Amino acid sequence: MTAVDATEAGPGRVRATRSAFALLGSLQVTLIFTLAAVAVPLPEIGRRFGLAREELILLSASYGLAFAGLLLFGGRLADRYGGRRTLLAGLLLFGAASVAAPLAPGYPPLLAARFAQGAGAALVAPAAMTVLRTLFPAPPAYRRAMATWGGLSVLGATAGNLLSGVISALLSWRWAFAAPLAVTVLALPLAPRLLPADGPQARDTSDTHHARRPRLDLPGALLATAGIVAVSYGLVLTDAHPWTSAHVMGPLLAGGALLAVFPVVERRTTDPLLPPGFLRDARRALGLVATALTAAGTSTVFVLFSLHLQQERGWSALSASAAFVPFAVVLVVCGRLAGRLVAWRGPGAVTGGGLAAGAAGLGLLALTGFDAGIPYGYGVLPGLVLLPAGAAAAFAGAAVLATDRVPAARTGLAGGVHNTAMEVGPTLVLALLLATGGDRASLAVAAGLFALAVPLLRLARS
């Protein structure tokens, strides 16, 4: 199948392009769904295997650590070997790990399976965005596709939080892996049929370093992966240890040192994994910041209110999951509208408006959401409606900003960087917010960060 702009093709080609987009979008939702799927049943897993708190923390974070740490390298593989090849390889690994995880007889096999799932996801996510660029080669069509793509990750996270509560209440934690496995089984035979074959890899003729197929840059990949994993792990451990403890400071300092060496090595590399000038584009940098902030804000709300509703209001896990159904509905509806808004008003304006609405939603939740004396419908629900409306717009616009004007030869890189912001942002910001010492304060600070980012996005309105 030769990919063409769906707007310039006949009905048959339009259907084929839409089917390919639907497959890629389903995979992106599934990857993020899998990240959130064990959050609610984590206590059940702990009781089943007799796990200590630190073991639970590592199990909860293992998928995200591998996912975030390997995304840049996954993007390089997609740019070097082609999007469809890399996607299929990632799906095979992701699927095999999704079989091993529910069958795990103990903690070590389950932990290894979660790490392997994350590694497979780190191949699939940037590869899917590379294929997306092939499906929509015309810039206007690609921008519309990316505006829709931007909201898929938070939709996956929402679905993961909702369904994991249902699964843990009605079935077993092992069934949390059923959806990822089912999607993988369906996608493996469909991908070769629906997705365009990898042709000659695109060359970035504007950069002499990319006049040929880029090298793997293994030193850069090792530094980036180890640095991101170490820093993320240190931040995750702040849930159980003080910031000044060796448990936290050791990984943070080690990861920080590795990431400090990374740009030095990259400047001396012929084909750097992350070219030094890639993040200097103001639009791209602002898009990545907005992506990280929005992902962090929504993740913080899920964590804090899942705990608040169960611990302070006495709700069951199933009821706490149901409380986020309005969030999911608003997210889906506004996500469908956001793409049109981006085409009409531009990605910078839509991202800024989304962050402003998100700031208002976070502010409402900080003011009234944690007061158990105020009913859910008055204290929590308004914020859970306003926040996803803003998040849908912010994600749509930010995805376009982060990937727009990227040469075809670096589409995998752009996908890796964008998804890294999506994964690392919540870990970093959530740890910082929780360090404020209170739920209200955490959301108030998050609202302030959203609001501060709004005027900066004027720089991206070009």
Q: For residue 233, which of 60, 446, 41 has the smallest C-alpha distance? A: 60
> C-alpha angle 291/295/296, rounded to 5°?
115
End-to-end distance of the chain based on CA atoms, in angstroms?
Answer: 35
Output the pLDDT for position 14: 77
Output the pLDDT for position 45: 84
Measured CA to CA, the distance from residue 306 to residue 312 in angstroms comes to 10
Output the pLDDT for position 6: 44
The list of the chain residues with pLDDT below 70 reads: 1-12, 40, 199-213, 434, 437, 459-462
Whether the Cβ atoms of residue 389 and residue 357 lie closer than 8 Å to each other:
yes
Q: To which CATH superfamily is domain 16-192+273-460 assigned?
A: MFS general substrate transporter like domains (1.20.1250.20)
Residue 195 φ/ψ, nearest 5 degrees: -95, 145
Measured CA to CA, the distance from residue 310 to residue 380 in angstroms comes to 14
Measured CA to CA, the distance from residue 183 to residue 177 in angstroms comes to 10
